[in-house]
Amino acid sequence: DQQVKQNSPSLSVQEGRISILNCDYTNSMFDYFLWYKKYPAEGPTFLISISSIKDKNEDGRFTVFLNKSAKHLSLHIVPSQPGDSAVYFCAANKGGGADGLTFGKGTHLIIQP
């Protein structure tokens, strides 16, 4: 049972526009959410996170929104740049981080020139 879902396997966005990546989760015990960026044959690189006590966190071009009632979060990248092309994983955790992360299947973001 997939507890973290990324329903879009891929997303194509024009350079300079906004990229919106979506993530849904089913486990209400999750209280911390993270986004990772990954290139082929490399480990994930941490991008941004959000605690369940917040509904928004912003870091430069990256903003994560959390809607707890809908069990939905999204990552906004604006403006999108060619270097943003990668696979983005949504991950969730519970209980203060003693457990490992539960990942979605990832969304391949392609930034078109």
Partner 1 sequence: GAVVSQHPSWVICKSGTSVKIECRSLDFQATTMFWYRQFPKQSLMLMATSNEGSKATYEQGVEKDKFLINHASLTLSTLTVTSAHPEDSSFYICSARDPGGWDTEAFFGQGTRLTVV
Which parts of this chain interact with partner 1 (CB under 8 A)?
Answer: 2, 4, 32, 34, 36, 41-46, 49, 51, 89, 93, 96-106
DSSP three-state, residue 65: strand
109: Cβ contacts below 8 Å, ≥ 6 apart: 10, 11, 13, 19, 21, 77, 80, 84, 85, 86, 87, 88
Shorter beta-carbon distance to partner 1: residue 32 or 79:
32
Closest by Cα among 77, 85, 87, 80 to 44:
87
Q: Least distance from C-beta 43 to partner 1, angstroms?
A: 4
Shorter beta-carbon distance to partner 1: residue 37 or 80:
37
Shorter beta-carbon distance to partner 1: residue 11 or 79:
11
Give yes or no for a contact between 11 and 18, defined as CB atoms under 8 angstroms apart.
no
Q: Least distance from C-beta 65 to partner 1, angstroms?
A: 18
Q: Least distance from C-beta 18 to partner 1, angstroms?
A: 25
